[in-house]
Chain A
Amino acid sequence: MASFEQGAAIPELKVTPDRFLPIRYAGASGDFNPIHTDKEYATMVGLPSTILHGLWSMAQVARAVTDAAGGPENIQSLEVQFRGMGFPEQEITVSGTVREVTEGVATLDVVAEQNDKAIIRNAVATVKSA
């Protein structure tokens, strides 16, 4: 378990999903919506290209939070809003700060950005703090 201090930043997480990542995540998660895997279909419904699964991007936020908190047993909650679209083959940066620490629980404000645009914003996590 990590010890959090109000105002401190959590370590940044950077990840660049490769071109086939959405196919692997579709198989792993069971979400086979073709907007994530079929470029022809995605463009037909008005998207610029295939887009990342929002829940995969949320998993990157969860990973940054659990890494900072010292393991998966220390995360208590995570709430996100999906905004914009994430794309394969472009780097994503997850960053966050500690809003407050109360009675052994830290509240973290987290954002995931790609090309300086938030793809997940207003993410709030609660984790155990030593």
Chain B
Amino acid sequence: MPVNTSAIGKTFAPGTYAVGREKVKEFANAVGETNPVHLDPEAARAAGYADVVAPPMFAVVFISQTMTPTLFDEEVGMNFAMMVHGGQKFTWERPIVAGEEITTHVSVKDISEKDGKGFYVYETISKDESGETVVTGEWTFLVRGV
């Protein structure tokens, strides 16, 4: 069965995430960050930040909240039982600190098929409160046996 490409270009309602100090510390500990700018507000302030700095991969936390429900979109039609996360790209414009609110916009960048596999590419654009882009994400999911 060929993949349905009609959802290419589809956009979803944006979502806003409030970055909290304790969540940043929890995430930093889970990924093994030892740089005190992620863990200690005083160390972060001494380094010139307003509060603890989110590790770059914390983008996963504020993006997933908005993006994950869109992966189940019926028009996109991914077969979750056969899906794996194939590739990931992030582009960071600047560090994000606790206390910021980040709004993420999600769209379907591409859907294609090759060798019996479906390739579903999502794009996320995360912006700060002034509307400046802070993180861009490209998420590639592979679905076997399409």
Contacts and interface: CB of A to CB of B under 8 A. Distances in A.
B53 interface: yes
A16 to B, nearest CB: 10
A72 B88 contact: no
Interface residues of A, number: 31
A67 B55 CA distance: 11
Given A28-B23, A79-B138, 4 more contacts: A29-B60, A62-B56, A63-B33, A82-B87
B18 to A, nearest CB: 14
Interface of B: 23, 26-27, 29-33, 35, 37-38, 47, 53, 55-57, 60-61, 64-65, 68, 81, 84-92, 94-95, 138
A80 interface: yes
A41 interface: no
A73 B86 CA distance: 27
Contacts of A130: none
A63 B88 contact: no
A66 B64 CA distance: 22
B30 A24 contact: yes
Contacts, number: 94
A55 B57 contact: yes
Main secondary structure on chain A at its contact with chain B? helix
A86 to B, nearest CB: 12
Contact of B85 (A21, A29, A54, A60): A54
Contact of B89 (A25, A67, A79): A79
B87 A66 contact: no
Contacts of B31: 25, 28, 56, 59-60, 62-63
B86 A30 contact: no
Given A31-B64, A59-B55, A63-B32, A80 B88 contact: yes
Given A55-B57, A82-B86, A75 B30 contact: no
B30 to A, nearest CB: 4
A78 B137 CA distance: 10
Contacts of A102: none
A20 B70 CA distance: 29
